[in-house]
Amino acid sequence: MPDATGLELIAQRVRDSVAAEAVTGTAFYREEATLEVAPAAVHDALAYLRDAEDEPWPLLMSLHGCDYLPEEPRLAVHYQLLSMERVDRLNVKTRLGVEDPRLPSVVDLYPTANFQEREVYDMFGVVFEGHPDLRRILMPEDYEGFPQRRDFPMGGEPVMFTFNEDEYPRWYD
């Protein structure tokens, strides 16, 4: 892990090279470094971290969404970067509101993000602009709502049979 100082240095380099407002904060918690970036700057910041940084982060290990209800902005997408050379991890995080959440896709930088961005879209409703094939991946394609959001109720979902198929929202629209 980069230590707290190293994280600040990375943050400063991203500010210098991408945009001054690209980095919105840093957090160092339990030996893990988190770089918080603005949603619009995600693609540029990751492109910089992957290629142009003197100590690059060539691999994206995990991309996952998160709902911070009741905090605002509620949603977040985490990019867990890895450098196999230095055996080092960096968490890049971006926060975005629940109304029409949009992020630039990073599939062109990290092809592994394909399925994972689809999962975040499926579960949290974050639309990744520029994703080659943004569809639901785990839930049925006609499903309504984004089940991993914290205000989505747990349980109580009726089972669909042929006789009650038309009671389902948008099944026959």
**Secondary structure of the chain as H, E, C letters:** CCCHHHHHHHHHHHHHHCCCCCEEEEEEECCEEEEEECHHHHHHHHHHHHHHCCCCCCEEEEEEEEECCCCCCCEEEEEEEEECCCCEEEEEEEEECCCCCEEECCCCCCCCHHHHHHHHHHHHCCEEECCCCCCCCCCCCCCCCCCCCCCCCCCCCCCCCCCCHHHCCCCCC
156 contributes a contact to other proteins by CB under 8 A: no
Separation between Cα atoms, residue 47 and residue 58, nearest integer Å: 10
| Residue 55-94 contact track with other proteins, rule CB under 8 A, x = bound | ---xxxxx-xxxxx---------x-x---x--x-x-x---
Size of the site for other proteins (CB under 8 A): 49
**Does the footprint of other proteins cover residue 170 (CB under 8 A)?**
yes
> Min. distance of Cβ 12 from other proteins in angstroms?
23
Which CB, 10 or 148, lies closer to other proteins?
148
Nearer to other proteins, 16 or 144 (CB): 144
Considering only 5-13, 15-23, 39-47, 52-60, which stretch makes contact with other proteins by CB under 8 A? 52-60
Site for other proteins in 18-37 (CB under 8 A): 29-32
Interface residues with other proteins (CB under 8 A) are: 29-32, 58-62, 64-68, 78, 80, 84, 87, 89, 91, 110-112, 114-116, 119, 127, 129-131, 134-142, 147-148, 150, 152, 154, 170-173
